[in-house]
A and B are shown apart, each in its own frame.
Chain A
């Protein structure tokens, strides 16, 4: 017979699981968060992601560095040889601004439409993610800010890969 007991470490792991699950579903919506700024000490946590990224100037610098990182990666650079880089820079900023609760409205086509027929591979998407990580690292953005942006961009993976 096999006796099964669940020691403390197992309970802790389950607790981690529960915390993780809750933390991904209980984020306040941006409008509530902005309205709830009441005291000075919670100002930091109440900043939108757009603000944490340095607002308009921050996103411009990030987009520029991101493009440099893409250009330095042989896996993904060929995808951009016909791209109008100044337009790409502008539209990317606009999209990131909207996604990070900044004061913008993205005017481009849907992510799925843009990547239709391109047959982008999983590895190319991951290469783009890592180009963005390098760009954020080189601008010395805190990991907590980086993770928030990555989470908001990761949701587009199914709209990009294999379309």
Chain B
């Protein structure tokens, strides 16, 4: 079991999937998903509620105060030379605390035959104050992401200092029910302290910079109706390794929330330079099952 942590983590994720699905189905009539459709967002690549690349201040799933909820997410990103798969699970307690776990697997077959970079991310997010929809402050949340590489050999070889790190972020999200064109619209701003190289997949800190630095992330979107949203993300990133230049990320996305159970996000992504290869443009697809 210890020899194969990789398979164990994957198995755990799928067991969580199963448990939550069963819970969800048996609890359809209980008071456990009172928030409004789409207000739980999607599942980000780090497991927290958000868009593809930006964690938002909203908490996963549809749990309101005194309720339990959560989400399971699977995503696939494909750029010119790389691809990444993420499986994640998040639990929302009373719309106050979100706990999440994500496993990222980044395929670098094009630069190192048969190799991939993997890490686990354990996240916690606290809703501090405000509200997404109702007239008060924007919803504000404080989050932590503990990231740990499964194997440090490649990150080490390219100059990363450590195989684990903690990101701390503060996010604020506001949705206007009657925004531009009488459509609902939202804006999210996130400030993150991080020393992760390419999310942490290439380790933490490097020869150019070993300390946490502040980066800014932004999402905005417009709901065509309650079930379809179009938006964009921007995510600034550190640039700690002299071996590989790291760029900021951006995407334009379409999100579909047919009901509170399902969310699908499709995005066109621009990931800049990764591992020394420029213009990593491509797509991102994620499916979320939520409660």
Residues of A within 8 A of B (CB): 1-5, 7, 9-10, 12-14, 16-17, 19-20, 23-24, 74-75, 121-124, 126-127, 129-130, 133, 143-145, 147-148, 150-151, 154-155, 157-158
Contacts and interface: CB of A to CB of B under 8 A. Distances in A.
A24 B179 contact: yes
A10 B250 contact: yes
Interface in B179-199: 179-185, 187
23 contacts: A1-B239, A2-B209, A2-B238, A2-B239, A7-B234, A13-B219, A16-B187, A23-B176, A24-B178, A74-B31, A121-B65, A121-B66, A122-B95, A133-B36, A144-B182, A145-B182, A147-B179, A147-B184, A148-B182, A154-B134, A155-B134, A157-B131, A158-B135
Q: Which of B232, B233, B238 has the most CB of A within 10 A?
A: B232
A19 B176 CA distance: 11
A17 B174 CA distance: 10
A48 B128 CA distance: 38
B133 A20 contact: no
B78 interface: no
A13 B220 contact: yes
Contacts of A130: 36-37
Interface string B182-225: 11110100000000000000000000110001000011101011
B248 interface: yes
B66 A126 contact: no
A147 B178 contact: yes
B34 interface: yes
Classify the secondary structure of B's interface with A.
Answer: loop
Interface residues of B, number: 48
Interface of B: 29, 31, 34-37, 64-67, 95, 131, 133-136, 176-185, 187, 208-209, 213, 218-220, 222, 224-226, 232-234, 236, 238-239, 248, 250-252, 270
B226 A133 contact: yes
B177 A151 contact: yes
A146 to B, nearest CB: 9
A14 B236 CA distance: 15
Nearest to B134: A157
Contacts of A126: 34-36, 64
Nearest to A4: B236
Contacts of A75: 31, 34
A144 to B, nearest CB: 4
A123 B178 contact: no
Contact of A122 (B34, B239, B252): B34
Contact of A7 (B29, B222, B250): B250
